[in-house]
Each structure stands twice: as structure tokens, then as C-alpha cells.
A and B are shown apart, each in its own frame.
Chain A
Amino acid sequence: MAIYLKGVMVALKGLPRTLQVSAFALVVGIVLGLFLALAKMSGSKVLKVLASVYIEVIRSTPMIAQALIMAYGVPMILQSKGINFKWGNLLIPALIVCGLNSAAYMAEVIRSGIQAIDKGQIEAAHSLGMSKRQVNMLIVLPQAFKIVIPALVNELVTLIKETSILAYVGVVEVIRSAQLWNATTFETFPAYVGAAVVYFIVCFPMSKGVQYLEKRLSADKPVKKSETEKSEGKGGIR
């Protein structure tokens, strides 16, 4: 039993790094994702195509390939072109890859949130003389953000688990801590069970939190269609 506890403790040492990378990627993902989502829905064809290409390329390739390309491939190709480039610290390409990767997923989440806003509201705002910018900033985005919060937390849970891939580009996060311990002690089972336990401890409460959020946030959603129909039906007696 003590050996399993040790396994958890070893994996815990990598947790700060995992959380740092995830938090960074979350912030970059939301900011960049918002711009991507707006670009994808904008009137400009160029922006639309650029955003779509970016999102589809990232979403259709595995993060491990992106991480390996960024960490090892990019310096190599630049140096072969005579540009003296190196990362210096392998955490940098790891942060960039996670940020860029999560942006593509966040963009789709945010887009779905924005499109969930009733068109009538936008039309109403326009008819009140609001500019497009005002409509976005005051009407659409605040509501959209609330709608997508559960999905964003889900995305964060996925992100925390996905960062385990960074073990392969030299970032000592949870999985790498377990691997390093396994390499010296050969306690394979306790090492990786320890890592799994650490991920579970972090991710499970978040998943539960999402369920709670979904319940809470749906409480003040606009009245469902069937309900409006019903009330209309009642009033119809008149």
C-alpha cells in the first residue's frame, strides 16, 4: 500500500507543471478561440477561410504530432535554413502547442454558444439603433459566454488529460514524473496507477462541477417552445 501512496506522491510532484500548462492553454485558448470564432462567422471571406483552415487542421491532427513538430521539427528546419533558432527551454514549445491546440477547440465551442443566441434579440437590438459592435459586446457575447461555460470546463478537463502528451517533448508533468520514477525503480503498476489517481482527483470534481453548472445555468434559460405553445393554447380560449 505504501508503494502506491509513493506512486501518487511522485505523480503529484508533476501536477503543478500540468496545471500551469493547462491554465496557460485555457487562457490562450479562450482569447484566440474567441477571435477565431468571430472570424469564422464574420462577413469577410478571407477571415472565414483562414479560421476554418486553422480549426480543421488542428482538430484533424493529433496533438503529439503537433508537439513533436513544434519542439524538434521547427528548430531543425529553421537551422537548416541558416537561422540560428532554438527554444532554450522545452516548456516554451509545449505551452505554444497546448495554447494553439485548445484555441481550435474553444473556437468551435464559442461559436456554438454565439449561434445559440436567439436571432430575434439581435434583430431587436439592431432595430433599437445599436451598432454591430454594441450588439456583439452587450447582447451576444455576455449571453454566449454563460451558455458555453460548462463546455469550456469540459474542454479544460480534456486539456488537463491531453497535456500528458508533453511527456514526450521533455516536459516533466504528471506522466513524466511517473515514467522517471518507473525508470529507476521499475515499480510500473504503482507509478502509472499513481498518475491516474492524480488525474482523477483533479478531473472528477471538475466533471461533477460541470453537471452542477449545467443545471444551474439552465434554470434561467428562455422558456421552452413547448411551454410557450401551451400557454398560448390556454390563452387561445379567449
Chain B
Amino acid sequence: MKNLKKFLCVVLVLVMIFSIAACGKKEEPKDDVKTYTVLTEATYPPFESYDTDGKLVGVDIDLIEAIAEDQGFKVVWQDIAFDSLIPAIQSDQGDIIAAFMVKTPVRMEKVDFTEGYYTGGYSLIVKEGNDKIKSIDDLTPDMVVASQMGTVEWNKANELKEAGKIKDVISNNDFVTCVMQTINGEIDATLVGVITSKAYLAKFPGKIKLVDFEESTDAPSAFAVKKGNTELLNMLDEGLKHIKENGKYDEIILKWVD
């Protein structure tokens, strides 16, 4: 018993030493280069997702890195839930949202958006072999559609429900779950952006197929900052303008979106 107590004592002391040592290792950002925290939600390829090595990759990642290089600041990335992005910015837990977020009027009340950088459209993902849904008009009042909570696609799905065109909307935290539920046959379709739907098709070939909505979102996607943070907003807009002029923007879009 006494030995056990001694052993526990040693273990606790070691834990304390290591945790203090870990604190000391934290990199102090240098004063001359500012570091901003960029928030994203990485279940939205090809804009943001993880590659097979677990690295965060995508259009938004490349765009922000290019803008940061142009404007001379550093970024650290943080992956959080989509519906937490705006609250996190409002409470200063991050500086920039780069999550292919569409500039909607409701969101514009809460955060400040940069100029738009890309406009996408809607699409439906259905299970391979589903011959019932060939277009948006084939959705019937007994069908269930999933989407990611808080996204414009989710709003669209809720509109369909309110119009009585579908039975219910399943609201998930991420699009991977939506696609999984589609593959499992739990739901009839996933409502998602058209470019992202193609990326998912590439990830799950032979398991899903796409039904084009042929309808674009009302507004473009843009980066967002806390309301009133004009300094950062101007830097982002300036950087975005520069990379559009010098061809870097086109290069990134071509790399990820065909």
C-alpha cells in the first residue's frame, strides 16, 4: 500500500512536470508577423477537407494561404462545427471564416463578409441504383432529405419541406454523415452544393450518383470576419483582388474545380 502511494506520488509529479514543460514549448508568435486563426468546417470537398494523410486541403485553404502570403500575415487553421463558425467569430475565438460560406442577409447581420469569390449551385446526392429521383421535380412528399445544419443547402431543404414537397429534413452536423445516410438508404437524398457533390462522387464511386439541381445559390461565397474588423476585412479584400489579378486565383480554382 505504501509503495502504491509512493508510486502515485511519482506519477503525479511527472505529469505536472510534463504539463508545465509542454506549456513552455508553445510558440510565441513573432511581433512583426501577425498570426490569424482561420475557422473552417472540413467536410466540404473540394473547398475544405482532409486528404488521406490527414492534412487540411482545398480551395479555401489555398486561397487564404495565398492571400496571407500576399498581405504578409500568418494563419493557423481550426476545424469546428459549421453552425458554430459565426458564434465563434462573434466571441473572438477565431479571426476569419473560410468555409465556403454564402453571403446570406441573416449572416451579414452577424459578421462582415469580403467580396464574393465563387458562386456554386445546388445538387442532390442519391444512392446508386435509385431510379426514382432523376430531377428535383421527382422529390415527393414522402421523401426525406438530409443536409448540414446551418448551410444554405439546409435552408433550401427546409424550404422544400415547408412547401410540402418533401416529408422531412434530417439535419446533420456534417456532410459526411449525410452521404453515409444516403449510402445506407436511411434517407432519399442529400442536398449539397454541386461542386461538393462531385467531390463526394469521386470519393464514393459506384455508391452514389448525382442529380443536378440546375439552380445556383442566390449569392456568392465569401470569407467573413467579426463585425467592425475593417482592418482585417480590407486586407482580405486587397489580397483577394491581388491574387485574382496575378492569376493565382484561377490557378487554385483550376487545380480543385474542373
Residues of A within 8 A of B (CB): 72, 75-76, 79, 84, 86-88, 90, 168, 170, 172, 176, 179-180, 182-186, 188
Contact = CB atoms under 8 A, between A and B. Distances in A.
Contact of B149 (A87, A180, A188): A180
Interface residues of B, number: 24
Interface of B is mostly: helix
B139 interface: no
Given A86-B184, A170-B171, A183-B171, 13 more contacts: A72-B177, A72-B181, A76-B180, A76-B183, A90-B170, A170-B172, A170-B181, A180-B149, A180-B171, A183-B150, A184-B106, A186-B86, A186-B106
Interface of B: 82-84, 86-87, 90, 106-107, 110, 149-150, 154-155, 170-173, 177, 180-181, 183-186
A168 B173 contact: yes
A168 B177 CA distance: 10
Given A90-B170, A170-B170, A183 B83 contact: yes
A218 B226 CA distance: 58
Contacts, number: 54
Nearest to A187: B87
A86 B149 contact: no
A76 B181 CA distance: 9
Given A180-B149, A184-B106, A186-B110, A75 B185 contact: yes
A186 B81 CA distance: 13
A72 B173 CA distance: 14
A145 to B, nearest CB: 38
A168 B174 CA distance: 10
Contacts of A184: 106, 150, 155
A76 B87 contact: no
Closest 5 CB pairs of A and B: A183-B150, A188-B87, A183-B83, A75-B184, A86-B185
Nearest to B149: A183
Contacts of A84: 185
Contact of A186 (B87, B154, B181): B87
Given A75-B184, A186-B110, A179 B172 contact: no
Residue from A75, A84, A180, A186 with most neighbouring chain B CB atoms (10 Å): A186
Nearest to B87: A188
Given A170-B170, A184-B150, A86 B180 contact: no
B214 to A, nearest CB: 26
Given A75-B184, A75-B185, A188-B87, A183 B154 contact: yes
27 contacts: A72-B177, A72-B184, A75-B184, A76-B180, A76-B184, A79-B183, A79-B184, A79-B185, A84-B185, A86-B184, A86-B185, A86-B186, A87-B186, A170-B170, A170-B171, A176-B171, A179-B83, A179-B149, A180-B149, A182-B87, A183-B82, A183-B83, A183-B171, A185-B106, A186-B86, A186-B106, A188-B87
Contacts of B83: 179, 182-183
A37 B185 CA distance: 38
Contacts of B110: 186
A90 B87 CA distance: 28
Nearest to B148: A183
B38 to A, nearest CB: 19
Contacts of B82: 183
A76 B177 CA distance: 12
